[in-house]
Structure 1
Amino acid sequence: MAEAIAFDLAVELITKLSSFTLSQIGLWWNVKDDLDDLKSTVSTIKAVLLDAEERSVTSHHVKDWLEKLKDVLYDADDLLDDFSTEAFRKDLLGGNKLTKEVRLFFSSSNQFAYSLKMGRQIKAIKARLTLIGSEAKMFNLVERDRPMETSFMTKKRHQTHSFKDNIIGRDDDKAALLKLMLEFESEENVYIIPIVGLGGLGKTALAQFVYNDEMVKNHFELMMFVCVSDVFDVKIIVENIIKSATGEAPNQKLEMDQLQSQLRGKIGGKKYLLVLDDIWNEEWEEWVSLKELLVGGAKGSRIIVTTRSLRVAKITSKCQPYVLKGLSDDDAWSLFKEIAFEQRSINPTFVKIGKQILERCGGVPWLLGP
């Protein structure tokens, strides 16, 4: 349904626009205002979408308007993904601010030219959205609040779990992580391994893949897998760690001191593996308050952190993060064939179309999925 998709896309765009940090856009001097303007425009349109949804049932004109809006929002989403990819690449270059600016300016992907191009594209998207917004006035659409229980904003990321016994194209990544987990000698009892990469690259799947390896199961006395996602609440995280360790949720009436005692009693002196999946929190103090509760493990304990943010990776661990890259062309094609064609023979025309699709996916497994 175009109307529901439009609302979800609008909210997702606003979330993405709000997530860009100053460090990500700092070198692109003309982009920040454009991003702020785009966010304001999308927010204005989002406010009338509930009214548009209801009226589209009886009005073909409103339904067509929603279809046009959906197309523009998809284009805007693609543009922001491109921006996120470039910002992520910029972060990975490292170095201090001056050397980073010099390196980026003289790189093959000149950032001055990139910022001008990005600014033009954002302005073009905004102009299309502004036109669509003006058309909404012809329908006399009114601002209405979407009930909280159906709002996209209340939908949390699907809770991840520990099961994953095989994934295409990640054998080398798995081998590298197994060395860090099973062979590397750390000075710290509890060694933290961040896996960082863009959304959809398969960080969670890789963590599950490693977690379920038989050597890993035999190496650790205690294994726990917890999805953190966007709400970094230490009490909730501790409750979920205890639940993963024991198979039972702790009493909801327990205070933090009691939960801490339970957690220490469970992990204290044991060589454990804990996966903290999908961390977004960039506040060092909040991370430290959780880490202090986890350092009681025996020598050889490991914590795997998956995150999209290089800053999160740096906050959670002193070690070099494991940066996950896109799939190779061959692995991407293998995955695409498995999903799209299963065991059927492939028409040569479909092969050509499939490989054109792969070029746009850039090796991101999530984009190749169903």
Structure 2
Amino acid sequence: MDFFTSKVMEELYDLVKDKFQQELRAALGVEKEIQNLSSKLNKIRQVMDDAERRSFKEKHIKLWLQDIQAFCYDVEDVLDEWRITTHRQQMEESEDGAPGGIRRKISNFLYHPIKRVVDFAQRPEIPDITNKIKELDSRLDQIMKDKDLYNLVPVTYTHISGQESKRVPTTSFVDASEIQGRDIDASALIRVLVRNNNNNNGSPVVISIVGAGGIGKTTLAQLVYGDEQIESHFDERVWVCVSHPFDQIKIAKAIVESTTGSSANLSELEVLLKKIQNTLSQKRFLLVLDDVWTEEDAKWAPFKNCLLNVALPGSRILVTSRSERVAKMMASVYVHRVKLISDSDAWLLLSRIAFSGRTEVLGKIPHL
């Protein structure tokens, strides 16, 4: 769920920092509302981890998270309207400055800042957009009141240029004996990964693991990645921690370094993608992309096209994400939704951690 607020926060940050956009917001009387949206969403992000943890047991918090998701979608829609309108304004200004429009060009040069704001404010769609922004700010007030009512605990995030600090990178290594209650999930995924599929049109099949933050998506992917059947089935296995933002160069380098075993002293995406093609050509591979956040097809497309018709049939891309929209964007043929482990498995895991597996404690499962 933090994915949605993070994405909207980033878009609001871009809107707030732009000087011309500041003039427009001030002229339209929505400066305060947009600043409020950014500030309140930041406070909501700080309690998101606590809310997601509690949502499995507390229905009212689950509904609260659904309200936030719906709210973020509505904010995105309004921001899209704003961007489309400003783009139209800029296109019309470009046409005004075309050859033959000398008087208009001189007028734009002399009065450009004021003219742009006035022209923008007079567009017929603007009153509707400004009303929607003010309504969103009012809706967010109620969401904030509910946040305080539910006593959600904040987790501090730091921001660099509007983005959250980088997360601790994951690896494929895990102690399978320490994992509890994921055998059925792992078996289901392994069956899908090794299944013959000749209808993928030469492109590796994408399979996604989707679930809330902290529920065990990465752990499940690690369990599957290290399975003996998976290890023997694929010629090449690659693990890449993606996280946010989706850094194409970093991801491409990680794939190259994993497949070649040496550092990739390259900085051009085109060159890196060609290297990936060479190393994975005529191999049946499993590529794990852990913790994918981006919904932008344009960022994923170069990798998808690079791997098209390169590898042997049966190659797979396994994705973990909090967002089903990410799974859809990546054209997943199968989505595995991760749920909470059972109470009995949870107790066995807790007792193993707390009591180091002492046999007199294990097995004495209380009524939960």
TM-score range normalised by the length of the shorter chain: 0.5 to 0.7
CA deviations over 1:133-154 (Å, ceiling 9, x no partner): xxxxxxxxxxxxx997xx9966
Q: Normalization by structure 1: what TM-score? A: 0.59
Mapped to 1, the partners of 2:34 and 2:180 lie a distance apart of 36
Mapped to 2, the partners of 1:323 and 1:264 lie a distance apart of 31
Match of 2:294 in 1: 281
SS at match of 1:241: helix
Q: Does residue 289 of structure 2 align to residue 266 of structure 1?
A: no
Mapped to 1, the partners of 2:47 and 2:265 lie a distance apart of 47
Match of 1:62 in 2: none
Alignment of 1:220-235 (within 5 A): 220-235=234-249
Of 307, 311, 330, 1:297 maps to: 311
Contact (CA 8 Å) 1:229, 1:279: kept in 2 or not?
A: yes
Residues 324-333 or 301-310, more deviating:
324-333
Please report the RMSD computed on the Cα atoms of aligned residues, expressed in angstroms: 4.4
Residues 294-303 or 307-316, more deviating:
294-303
Mapped to 1, the partners of 2:64 and 2:307 lie a distance apart of 32
Match of 2:197 in 1: 185
Q: Does residue 182 of structure 2 align to residue 170 of structure 1?
A: yes
Question: Displacement, 1:185?
Answer: 2.1
SS at match of 1:205: helix
- Mark the CA change 1:179 to 1:77 in structure 2 (over 3 Å): closer, same or farther: closer
Of 78, 102, 110, 2:50 maps to: 78
5+ residue gaps, structure 1: 1-11, 22-33, 47-71, 92-117, 130-145, 356-370
Q: Larger Rg: 1 or 2?
A: 2
Match of 2:229 in 1: 215
Aligned residue pair count? 260
Q: Normalization by structure 2: what TM-score? A: 0.59
Mapped to 1, the partners of 2:234 and 2:36 lie a distance apart of 51
Task: Look up the equivalent residue of 2:167 and give its one-letter code.
Answer: R
SS at match of 1:287: helix
Contact (CA 8 Å) 2:236, 2:284: kept in 1 or not?
A: yes
Match of 1:343 in 2: 357
Q: Does residue 328 of structure 2 align to residue 314 of structure 1?
A: yes
Residues 219-228 or 82-91, more deviating:
82-91
Mapped to 2, the partners of 1:351 and 1:38 lie a distance apart of 46
Match of 1:40 in 2: 39
Match of 1:240 in 2: 254
Q: Does residue 134 of structure 2 align to residue 122 of structure 1?
A: no
Match of 1:158 in 2: 168
- Mark the CA change 1:168 to 1:219 in structure 2 (over 3 Å): closer, same or farther: same
Task: Look up the equivalent residue of 2:208 and give its one-letter code.
Answer: P
5+ residue gaps, structure 2: 10-32, 69-139, 152-157
Mapped to 2, the partners of 1:316 and 1:156 lie a distance apart of 23
Contact (CA 8 Å) 1:38, 1:126: kept in 2 or not?
A: no
Counting aligned pairs with the same residue, the percent is: 35
SS at match of 1:325: coil
Match of 2:339 in 1: 325
